[in-house]
Each structure stands twice: as C-alpha cells, then as structure tokens.
Amino acid sequence: MFENRPKRDAEVVFVGRSNVGKSTLMRELTGHSKFNTGKKPGVTREPNHFDWAGESFMFSDLPGFGFMSGVEEERREAIKTDIVRYIEEHADKILVGVLVVDGKSVVDIIDRHTGEDSIPHDVEMFYFLEELGIPTVVAVNKMDKVDDRDERLNDLCDRLGLYPPWEQWKGDTIAPIVAKRGQLEPLKEALRHHFHEAKRDDLLKFVK
C-alpha cells in the first residue's frame, strides 16, 4: 500500500498505463523537474505528490498500470490494486481524476483487450472513477502523432461509452494534449471547469 501521502485536503490524481507520458505531463503542468521519466515503462512505482507550501492541495501522479516490460504479472496486479485502494481511500479529497492515454494507440489497445469476460484497464479505470463520483477527464496525449484526429477521438468516446462527436465532451471530459510540447490548454480548461464546479476557484491559479 502506498504510504507517505502528504496531508492535503484536495488533490488531482493522474492515472494511466505505463509509458503514456504521465510524468512528462506532470512536469509540464507543475514546472517542476522532479518527476522521473524514462523509456522503460514502469519507472514510477510509488505515487509522486507535488504540493505547495501553505496550500492544502496537490497533484498526484500514480504509478502506471497494465503491461510493463520486465515486470512480473503478480507485481503489475499488486500495483493496480494499490492504485484502486488509494483512490477509494481518498475519494472524498480527490477533486478530479485524470486518465492519461496515448492518443495513437489507446483505441487499438482497448479493442485488443476487450472480451466477453474482460474489460480493458483504461475503460475499467474510467468507470471506476465515475462510480466513485470523481469528475473524470481523459487527457489524450501524443496527439501530434495522430493523423485522423477527429475520427480517433470519436472512436475513443465510443469505447468509453460517451456519445460521439467528441467535441461535445470538450472542456470537461475529453482533453487532447501534447505533453512533450507543453500543449496542455484543453486539460487546463477541463480542470478549471471542475475546480469551479467544486466551488474551489482558489485553485484556478494552479491551472492558468
């Protein structure tokens, strides 16, 4: 179980498969370089919390889930269980859950893991956050590598049970971004929306 969570009353959690660019996204969002990034999936094994002195708020980058090269399945399942427990335990303090996906590959991955008795991790996590009543934003990263942008985003909405076209989910649920280039405005817009809905306009300064 993850320990050492800073005592903060509000947080935004970032979840997603390994290697979708969560740590790069966190670094760009916070302007802080402490987040480890690497070519090897699964670099982040414990949550990375980023908080501010004097502020009862933080961003939390949770470890990547799903397949990780060189990591045994038992260990992968344990990490996923820890992520689920963490979110359940702190649900009342989580203002927004951000599910980070790779825009180029997410639809194919979902389709590959969809079966009669199996739900892909990304879809499962999306529903899990929603069931807990946590406002959820899907940050669709690496969009600079996607040619058929609208079609791909519509397909993703379809797989998540959201009615296309994707544009109707813009601003609160679907946020196409390119973390590596710092192109995060759609995500910031969605976070601003949810902070405002939660009557936490005091936090808008963190997503200018």
Q: Where are the domains of the chain?
A: 10-207
pLDDT of 63 strictly over 50: yes
pTM, to two decimals: 0.92
- Are 110 and 120 in contact, with CB atoms under 8 Å apart? yes
Model confidence pLDDT, tens digit, residues 14-32: 999 988 999 899 999 998 7
Residue recorded with tokens 């038992």: 74
User: If you average pLDDT over residues 155-177, what whole number do you get?
Assistant: 97
Question: According to the model, what pLDDT value does residue 135 have?
Answer: 98
Class of domain 10-207: alpha beta
CB atoms within 10 A of CB 119: 15
User: If you average pLDDT over residues 198-202, what whole number do you get?
Assistant: 96
